[in-house]
Structure 1
Amino acid sequence: MYGQPIIVLNQNTKRESGKKVQFGNINAGKAIADVIRTCLGPRSMLKMLMDPMGGIVMTNDGNAILREINVQHPAAKSMIEVARTQDEEVGDGTTSVIILGGEVLSVAEPFLEQQMHPTVIISAFRMALEDLLETLKSKVSTPVDITNKDEMMKIVKSCVGTKFMSKWSDLACKIALEATATVALEEGGRKEIDIKRYAKVEKIPGGTIEDSEVLTGIMINKDVVHPKMKRRIENPRILLMDCNLEYKKGESQTNIEISKEEDFSKILRMEEEFIEKMCNDVIALKPDLIITEKGVSDLAQHYLIRAGITAIRRVRKSDNNRIARACGGTVVNRTDELREEDMGTGCGLFEVRKIGDEYFTFLVNCDNPKACTILLRGASKDILNEVERNLQDAMNVARNVMQEPFLVPGGGAAEMALAQALNEKAKSITGVHQWPYRAVARALEVIPRTLIQNCGASTIRTLTALRAKHAQADSRSWGVDGETGNIVDMKDYGVWEPYSVKAQVYKTAIETAILLLRIDDIVSGTKKQMDALNAPSGGGHSAPPPQGGEGGEE
Structure 2
Amino acid sequence: MSSRGQQPLFILSENNERTKGQAAQDSNIRAGKAVANAVRTTLGPKGMDKMLVGSSGDVTITNDGATILNTMDIEHPAAQMIVEVSQTQEVEVGDGTTTAAVLAGELLSEAEELLDSDLHPTVIVEGYHEAARLAQEAIDEGVLDIDLDDDILEAVAESSMTGKGTGDVNADVLARHVVGAVRQVAGDRIEREDIRIHTQTGAATSATELVDGVVLSEEPANANMPRSVENGSVAILEAELDVRTSEANAEYNISSVDQLNDAVEAEDSELRRYAETLTEAGVDVLFCTKDIDDRVAGYLADAGILAFENVSSEKSTALAKATGAKHLGTLSDLEASDLGSVDSVSIESYGDEEAAFVEGGTDSNYVTLFVRGSTDHVIDELERALNDAIDVVIAALDKGGVVAGAGGTEVAISAYVRDHAASVEGRKQLAIEAFATAVDALPRTLAENTGMDAIDALVDLRGRHDSEGIAGIVSTGRSGEIGDPVEAGIIDPAAVKREAVKSATEAATMILRIDDVITLE
- Which TM class, normalised by the smaller chain length? over 0.9
Distance in structure 2 (CA, Å) of the matches to 1:208 and 1:99? 33
**Alpha-carbon distance change, 418 to 523 in structure 1, aligned in 2, over 3 angstroms:** same
Q: Is the 8 A contact 2:138 2:412 kept in 1?
A: no
Q: Which moved more, 1:276-285 or 1:410-419?
A: 276-285
Output the amino acid matched with 2:343: G
Q: Is the 8 A contact 1:247 1:274 kept in 2?
A: yes
Q: State which of 424, 430, 445 in structure 2 corresponds to 1:429.
A: 424
**Alpha-carbon distance change, 296 to 435 in structure 1, aligned in 2, over 3 angstroms:** same
Q: State which of 106, 116, 124 in structure 1 corresponds to 2:127.
A: 124
Question: Residue 308 of structure 2 aligns with which residue?
Answer: 312
> In the TM superposition, what are the counterparts of 1:200-219 in structure 2 within 5 Å?
200-219=196-215
Q: State which of 466, 474, 478 in structure 2 corresponds to 1:481.
A: 474
* Deviation readout 1:291-348 (Å, 9 max, x if unpaired): 2111222342344344332222221121121122222222211111212122112x21
2:67 aligned with 1:67? no
Question: Residue 387 of structure 1 aligns with which residue?
Answer: 382
Distance in structure 2 (CA, Å) of the matches to 1:335 and 1:481? 61
2:157 aligned with 1:162? no
* Deviation readout 1:466-489 (Å, 9 max, x if unpaired): 2223334xx332112244332111
Distance in structure 1 (CA, Å) of the matches to 2:278 and 2:482? 67
TM-fit CA distance, 1:175: 2.0
TM-fit CA distance, 1:405: 4.4
Question: Residue 343 of structure 2 aligns with which residue?
Answer: 348
Distance in structure 2 (CA, Å) of the matches to 1:293 and 1:143? 49
How many residues are aligned here?
512
TM-fit CA distance, 1:359: 2.5
SS of the residue 2:517 aligns to? strand
2:499 aligned with 1:496? no
2:137 aligned with 1:142? no
User: Quick one: percent identity of the two aligned structures?
Assistant: 29
Question: Residue 449 of structure 1 aligns with which residue?
Answer: 444
SS of the residue 2:236 aligns to? strand
SS of the residue 1:237 aligns to? strand
Distance in structure 2 (CA, Å) of the matches to 1:199 and 1:254? 47
TM-fit CA distance, 1:47: 1.0
Q: State which of 491, 510, 513 in structure 2 corresponds to 1:515.
A: 510
Distance in structure 1 (CA, Å) of the matches to 2:520 and 2:186? 50
Distance in structure 2 (CA, Å) of the matches to 1:129 and 1:46? 30
Q: Is the 8 A contact 1:414 1:476 kept in 2?
A: no
Q: Is the 8 A contact 2:119 2:427 kept in 1?
A: no
Output the amino acid matched with 2:190: E
Distance in structure 1 (CA, Å) of the matches to 2:402 and 2:235? 44
* Deviation readout 1:265-308 (Å, 9 max, x if unpaired): 55545434433444333222111122211122234234434433
Q: Is the 8 A contact 2:40 2:98 kept in 1?
A: yes
SS of the residue 1:286 aligns to? coil
CA RMSD of aligned residues (A): 2.2
> In the TM superposition, what are the counterparts of 1:26-425 in structure 2 within 5 Å?
26-137=29-140, 139-146=141-148, 148-167=149-168, 168-186=170-188, 191-194=189-192, 197-251=193-247, 254-258=249-253, 260-261=255-256, 267-345=263-341, 347-366=342-361, 368-425=363-420
SS of the residue 2:514 aligns to? coil
Distance in structure 1 (CA, Å) of the matches to 2:260 and 2:485? 81
Output the amino acid matched with 1:464: V
* Deviation readout 1:111-142 (Å, 9 max, x if unpaired): 211222211111111111112212321x1112
Gaps of 5+ in 1: 527-554
Distance in structure 2 (CA, Å) of the matches to 1:305 and 1:155? 47
SS of the residue 2:451 aligns to? coil
Q: Is the 8 A contact 1:239 1:289 kept in 2?
A: yes
Distance in structure 1 (CA, Å) of the matches to 2:66 and 2:155? 24
TM-score, with structure 1 as normaliser: 0.88
Q: Which moved more, 1:272-281 or 1:34-43?
A: 272-281
Distance in structure 1 (CA, Å) of the matches to 2:199 and 2:456? 45
Distance in structure 2 (CA, Å) of the matches to 1:412 and 1:232? 50
Gaps of 5+ in 2: none
TM-fit CA distance, 1:502: 0.7
Name the larger-Rg structure: 1
Distance in structure 2 (CA, Å) of the matches to 1:44 and 1:141? 26
Question: Residue 12 of structure 2 aligns with which residue?
Answer: 9
* Deviation readout 1:169-217 (Å, 9 max, x if unpaired): 111101211222333343xxxx1322xx433322222121111111112
SS of the residue 2:11 aligns to? coil
Distance in structure 1 (CA, Å) of the matches to 2:510 and 2:93? 21
Q: Is the 8 A contact 1:278 1:336 kept in 2?
A: no
Distance in structure 1 (CA, Å) of the matches to 2:254 and 2:363? 59
Distance in structure 2 (CA, Å) of the matches to 1:89 and 1:143? 24
Output the amino acid matched with 2:389: A
TM-fit CA distance, 1:44: 0.7
